[in-house]
Structure 1
Amino acid sequence: MKIKKILTFVFAAALMTSCGNEDGPGGDGGNGGGTEHTEYFGVNMSGAEFGNVYPGVDGTHYGYPTKKDLEYFKEKGLRMIRFPFRWERIQSEMNGPLITTELAKMKEFVQAAEDLNMKVLLDMHNFGRYCVYSNGVNSDDNQFVVIGNAQCTVENFCDVWKKLAAEFKDYKCIWGYDIMNEPNAMLKTTPWVKIAQACINAIREVDTETMLVISGDEFSSASRWKEVSDNLKTLVDPCDNMIFQAHVYFDSDASGNYSKSYDEDGATIQTGVVRLRPFVEWLKENGKRGFVGEYGVPDDDGRWLDILDSALKYLQENGVNGTYWSAGPRWGNYKLAVQPTDNYTVDRPQLATLLKYKTTVQVY
């Protein structure tokens, strides 16, 4: 046991000396000085995670957003793009090679963002799971296993991220690696905090520069952050460039489905602020940086926009940026979408509120 502890210390020390900046290229703290940095708000750009059929057919089950989608939001001043993708599509066999055709599509999108001087957050949109069987036609027979299961080990998860980091680390536009979207109901024997630490260590073997984005447990709940994600404060990034991610929705069950009306949900203008406060307070109490990767409201009742406005004002004032859920060319009439209509000429109702909050200042 002592030998193992010594080796772990030596490994961490070696990583620290190899990091791009001995004080950390970004830092995960907000305490004890630092300098001011402008961070951008933006949108999720969906499509590559669609379908729930694996591998699926590009253009039928899923599809990639385009440079034209990026250009629209760049022109609006929303320069941060959270880019969801699926593990099963980029690596169809665990520990196997990355799929070259999908990797090329991801890189085409990332390069387009880099050409436009936008920022991209690579988001593995898998909820802490891997689909080990899909019939390839629909999702009826899908079989998922949780990370930590014998069929999907922590080592498997670390493997895919080491390979992704090796492919994307040299892009200047990559804001961070969002290592897992909304982990939930993880195995008690392999809690999310243990998986996240292993992934941090693995990525730092190949990339000591790019920021690591760590989602909270139980669907990254902002309102329950102190209850379900407090243990994430024990995570250590040897390169000190880590940020914590929460999600928030304003309907009664915080699911984002908005299946009830505004009045039935019992929402108020302060609903968003109340749900965000536990996360923001935790960041301040622990000297951590924060990001809210998902929030969204329906387009059928303007009172939801008032909640969104108050929530974004609160985030901006507290140095926390975020990305709206969601944009992307495959949403159709989805009531939360901010994808423009009529060949990019008509803005969605939520956009005017988003445009009031384009940047915030973080100190690190």
Structure 2
Amino acid sequence: MTKFFSYFLCIFLFVSCSGDSGIADIEEPDPDPDPDPVTTAYPFGVNLSGGEFGGVYPGVDGTHYGYPTSKDLDYFKSKGLTLIRFPFRWERVQHELNGNLYSVDLGKMKTFVKAAEDRDMPVILDMHNFARRSFDGGVTSVVIDGGPELTRDHLADVWMRLANEFKSYKNIWGYDIMNEPYSMPSSTAWFTIAQAVIDKIRLVDTQTPIIISGDRFSSALHWVQFSDNLRNLKDPSDNLIFQAHVYFDKNISGAYAGTYEEEQATPDTGVTRIKPFVEWLKEHNKRGLIGEYGVPDNDPRWLVVLENMLVYMSDNGVPGTYWSAGPRWGAYKLAVQPTNNYTTDRPQMQVLEKYTKTNSK
């Protein structure tokens, strides 16, 4: 009874009690406690290829290349895979450097983006050029900032024009300014190119996220070695997303020339290869994306590798887009394009459809 009375006396007098009373010190509650952190659930999805196909530029639509359709969108939405990375080629949307955008291909791109918008599906506009551009129909390519023929200002110009055309759409998840730059003129070349593009886009669009791929084919495993300097990029809108890619074969190419054993794969190969990138994101408080990953359809052990990585990505709040889908892939062993008039799933889909959003708290 004495301890009970002492407890309430302490509360009434707002004094701290200890010792014989047996009651711990009482502290006033925080008048404005910090709320628990909330992690956004980001969508998973696929690459819908076709617009980047063919080795002839600009080429003939329907012969050398072709854009995906609303049927493709409907199928992947039915699977819950709503984030669409939409590859296209620079040479097809802008025939002349610093020139107007080519209205025919631009119009077809807009038709696809609008179809996705109508279905509440976010789209990543992916310039799939590897930091290069062909000037002779595709026989050879010139590297950006590798000479006066092709400079960072040329890339910045086309992206300013693209941003001006697409900024009014409500479903642009990000401007993916360049797929897989590699073998650049210097270790700082890609950084300075990306900064120039950011600056130019922000003259016309201050809202849409800008996606920055890493150097060396955007390798997640080699991110710190080749792309650490990208964390110093400046965006006045503070809205950058960093993108890495990963494949599980021995040389990380995605060719999968050998068997599971020959490629020296293990169930944790995917986790091991993206961990340097994910840890870098967390260390520097950056937002990230795994924009390409894929497995062959000929051995179920690859599905285990894929699923383990998707679990790790989901737990760490990093979304991704599988490589690849689209109506022009045919028998490509990594493809998840459905067969039999969209009625038959590819084997990889049994894993992919289980992971449609990252985990949130």
TM normalised by structure 1 equals: 0.88
Counterpart-to-counterpart distance in 1, 2:184 and 2:354: 37
Counterpart-to-counterpart distance in 1, 2:313 and 2:79: 20
- Preserved CA contact (<8 Å) 1:42 1:79: yes
Which of these residues, 76, 83, 86, is aligned with residue 83 of structure 1? 86
**Residue identity matched to 1:255:** S
1:189: Cα distance to partner?
7.9
Q: Does 1:54 align with 2:51?
A: no
Counterpart-to-counterpart distance in 2, 1:308 and 1:72: 21
Q: Which residue of 2 aligns with 1:210?
A: 208
**Residue identity matched to 2:128:** H
1:301: Cα distance to partner?
0.4
- Preserved CA contact (<8 Å) 2:247 2:270: yes
Q: Which residue of 2 aligns with 1:247?
A: 245
Q: How does 1:1-364 map to 2 (within 5 A)?
A: 35-134=38-137, 139=138, 142-148=139-145, 149-188=147-186, 191-361=189-359
Q: What is the SS of the residue equivalent to 1:313?
A: helix
Counterpart-to-counterpart distance in 1, 2:188 and 2:282: 28
Q: What is the SS of the residue equivalent to 2:135?
A: strand
Query: Unpaired segments of 5 or more residues in structure 2?
Result: 1-34
Counterpart-to-counterpart distance in 2, 1:296 and 1:189: 28
1:199: Cα distance to partner?
0.6
Aligned residues: 326
Give the root-mean-square deviation of aligned CA atoms. Answer: 1.4
1:208: Cα distance to partner?
0.1
Q: Deviations over 1:174-225 (max 9, x none)?
A: 0000000000011128610110011111100000000000000000000000
- Preserved CA contact (<8 Å) 1:50 1:62: yes
Q: 1:33 to 1:98 in 2, by over 3 A?
A: farther
Q: 1:251 to 1:351 in 2, by over 3 A?
A: same
Q: 1:42 to 1:301 in 2, by over 3 A?
A: same
1:352: Cα distance to partner?
0.8
Q: What is the SS of the residue equivalent to 1:219?
A: helix
- Preserved CA contact (<8 Å) 1:220 1:245: yes
**Residue identity matched to 1:346:** T
1:38: Cα distance to partner?
2.1
Q: What is the SS of the residue equivalent to 1:293?
A: strand
Counterpart-to-counterpart distance in 1, 2:186 and 2:156: 19
Q: Deviations over 1:240-290 (max 9, x none)?
A: 111100000000000000011101111100100000110011011111111
**Residue identity matched to 2:225:** E
- Preserved CA contact (<8 Å) 1:320 1:362: no
**Residue identity matched to 2:140:** Q
1:361: Cα distance to partner?
4.5
Q: What is the SS of the residue equivalent to 2:314?
A: helix
TM normalised by structure 2 equals: 0.88
Counterpart-to-counterpart distance in 2, 1:329 and 1:287: 37
Q: Deviations over 1:41-95 (max 9, x none)?
A: 0000000000021111111100010000000001111000000000000001110
Q: What is the SS of the residue equivalent to 1:353?
A: helix
Counterpart-to-counterpart distance in 1, 2:359 and 2:142: 39
Query: Unpaired segments of 5 or more residues in structure 1?
Result: 1-31
1:132: Cα distance to partner?
1.1
Q: What is the SS of the residue equivalent to 2:66?
A: coil
Counterpart-to-counterpart distance in 1, 2:227 and 2:354: 30
Q: 1:298 to 1:86 in 2, by over 3 A?
A: same
Q: Deviations over 1:13-60 (max 9, x none)?
A: xxxxxxxxxxxxxxxxxxx99743221000000000000211111111
Structure with bigger strand share is: 1
**Residue identity matched to 2:41:** T
